[in-house]
Amino acid sequence: MSYILEWDERLPLFIFSDPARICQVLFNLISNVFKFTESGSIRVVAKKYGGHVCFSVIDTGIGITAEFLPSVFERFSPAICATVESFSGTGLGLSISRELIRLMKGSIDVESKEGAGARFSIPLIASEKEHREKETIVNLRKLPSLRLLLAEDNGDYQFLFQRYLSGFGWTTDIFPNGEIAVQKVMTNQHDIILLEIQMPVMDGITAFGKIQELMQSGVHPQVPVLALTAFALENDRKKFFDIGFKCFIPKPVKKMIFRISLQNA
């Protein structure tokens, strides 16, 4: 099985849309692909067509018969329910996806033949943001090389952030807990500090308090401190801002959100 991501370089950097709904729909479609594709390839494509951005999920799976194709987006569609004995699921994913896309004034289309896979396409109006607050949203490639301190105990996230930041041309010092991060702040200077909230030995909130003291006493220059956390509810966000974090980056981390958060720091 091969997994392919295709990204059109002509895509705008920003569009007006609902990222949560788009992610939910793509998640639903890709979940179906994994259920119904045992070999071949899975492709996720994002392209620009005129005034639209089109997301497509294409597979080489079992496909859909011509008889069932018109009803594939109906709740408990026979096209989906006919496969329940072989694949787990409720048959609601495609129906929910269609409703979410309709709320965004878009559409979702399907092309398929039995035994030849399927192609689900979501054309959305690409309403670009004309006034982008150019003073705060800057292309990271134009920024000077910066040094960032990251306190993160999860090895997978350490690897992910290292890849993101090296791609931005930044130097990153990574430490597994808040205690070491505080020690390094005492002896090294950084341009931005990222702290995971939940860490062993010393958590991010405790570390932030100690780093604030070091900045206030002049041991380290005043720099933005950002929170990394899986706690992204409204009360959590208010708590982090009240404590003094510049902003927070929710997990699971998406590269674009990560990038914009650093740009605005």
Phi, psi of 22 (to 5 degrees): -60, -45
Q: What pLDDT score does 90 carry? A: 40
Q: What pLDDT score does 216 carry? A: 93
pTM over 0.75: no
Sheet containing 41-49: which strands, arranged edge to edge?
2-7, 41-49, 52-59, 118-125, 109-112
Q: Give the containing element (helix H, strand E) for 100.
A: helix 93-103
Single-letter residue type at 68: F
Q: Which residues contact 87 (CB under 8 A, 6 or more apart)?
A: 35, 36
Q: Which residues contact 107 (CB under 8 A, 6 or more apart)?
A: 101, 122, 123
Domain boundaries, the chain: 2-125, 140-264
Fold type of domain 140-264: Rossmann fold (3.40.50)
Q: Which CATH superfamily is domain 2-125 in?
A: Histidine kinase-like ATPase, C-terminal domain (3.30.565.10)
Per-position pLDDT tens, the chain of length 265: 687 888 887 777 667 777 778 888 888 888 877 777 878 888 899 988 777 889 999 998 888 888 877 877 876 554 454 444 444 444 456 778 888 888 888 889 999 888 888 899 998 876 655 444 443 344 444 556 789 999 999 998 898 888 888 877 788 999 999 999 999 999 999 999 999 999 999 999 999 999 999 999 999 999 999 999 887 666 777 788 888 998 888 887 877 777 777 776 6
Q: What pLDDT score does 223 carry? A: 92
Q: What pLDDT score does 135 carry? A: 38
Q: What pLDDT score does 136 carry? A: 39
Structure tokens at 127: 């309403």
Cα distances (Å, whole numbers) of residue 110 to 55, 82, 118, 240: 12, 18, 7, 43
Determine the Cα–Cα distance for residues 98 and 121; give it in Å rounded to an integer: 11
